[in-house]
Structure 1
Amino acid sequence: MASSCSTSLLVLLFAVFFTLPRFSVASNEFQVGGSKGWVVPSANDTNFYIDWASNNRFHVVFKYKKDSVMEVGGADYTSCNTTHPTLFSNSGNSVFKLDHSGTFYFISGASGHCERGQKTIVRVMVDESLPEHAKSSSYHVPIEVSQMIFFQFVLTCVASYVI
């Protein structure tokens, strides 16, 4: 019994290690604004960030110097209100995890920058290929379930060695 459990455990370990990289590859990071980064757009290109966001489907990364980025609500986005951000960062390399479907609003926290067009909306769409129950829950559920099954299997094997 212990020998077959050892063989099964080794096969399962290899299967887990070879499938986990696929989960990590599925996540992408995009630098907001592409190669230009998080800068004030030119006067004739105030829709620069709207256009950029509509062309990318994520973690978003804001890279900047002497600026900041804020996640705000829709009304604060429209009015460029910087007084009540949901999230704030001034690190120069800000990463925001887009962990659910919906609309995310980002503006610059530097005085006058939002009014000059340094703001963007990111809409995260629901993956239509997912089952209905997965659309409303976290994308991590399949990984957590597979880990739970794996740990139950390991505990069963350990118990068979002890007994």
Structure 2
Amino acid sequence: MPAILAGDSRRRRLLTAAITLLVTFKSVISFQYKVGDLDSWGVPPPSLPNLYASWVLNHHFHINDSLFFLYPPSKDSVVQVTEKAFNVCIVTDPILKMEDGNSIFKFTSPGTFYFTSGVASHCEKRQKLQIAVPDANGTFFQPAGAPAAAAAAAGGPAAYPLVFGPTPEGGSSASPRLRGVVGGGLAVAIATLCWLF
């Protein structure tokens, strides 16, 4: 009888370890996406006018994921703009401007994000990108009390919501990469301890 109970205890520990790993890895995995995949950030060719709109449909973004924009800095840039500026290609008052040629933007909060080239004529040629990032439980929403909505309702100038992430320091990769090695190592350590004790 004790051997059966020991087996049940071991199975419980293994199940606990597996659940701990799954929950922890889900929360620490993030990806970096090269915008346009094989194509760098630039004006879409005439044969693919909806390049960026199609690209977004093939990816699912989450908080802590990041975008990698690759472009020649002498000829282009990336700006994060409001929805209104995005729709009419106004690039003169961006929320954020990136112009180093290897720009990384990290999603630090849920919401809809609007990016375009810093060159207005490029934006007019559909070099722009709209991305919706859900909250942690997968819900898409616009906060009711967002500063831009409050300013618009009051008839005042639109205030930009502070939803953009800083450009992380260090190198960048042109393909999706797994992040959170420390968190993953911690999860493995916790799971191992649960299994042993």
With the shorter chain as reference, the TM-score category is: 0.5 to 0.7
| 1:91-106 equivalent positions in 2, closer than 5 A | 91-106=100-115
1:125 aligns with 2:128: no
1:54 aligns with 2:57: yes
Question: Does the CA-based 8 Å contact 2:116-2:127 persist in structure 1?
Answer: yes
State the AA in 2 paired with 1:32. V
1:117 is paired with a residue whose SS is coil
Paired position in structure 2 for 1:30? 33
- Equivalents in 2 of 1:129, 1:80: separation in Å? 30
Q: Which of 104, 107, 118 in structure 1 is aligned with 2:116? A: 107
Q: Which structure is richer in relative contact order (CA contacts within 8 A, separation 6 or more)? A: 2
1:34 is paired with a residue whose SS is coil
1:82 aligns with 2:91: yes
Paired position in structure 2 for 1:68? 77
Gap runs ≥5 in structure 2 = 1-20, 140-182, 187-197
TM-score by length of 2: 0.52
2:53 is paired with a residue whose SS is helix
- Aligned residues, how many? 114
TM-score by length of 1: 0.62
- Equivalents in 2 of 1:55, 1:99: separation in Å? 21
- Equivalents in 2 of 1:44, 1:117: separation in Å? 12
Alpha-carbon deviations, 1:20-70, whole Å to 9, x = none?
Answer: x94796011000000102011022422210110121122011010121000
State the AA in 1 paired with 2:80. E
Gap runs ≥5 in structure 1 = 1-18, 131-142, 147-163
After TM superposition, give the deviation of residue 74 of structure 1 in Å.
0.3
Matched-pair identity in %: 36
Alpha-carbon deviations, 1:88-109, whole Å to 9, x = none?
Answer: 0110011111111110000001
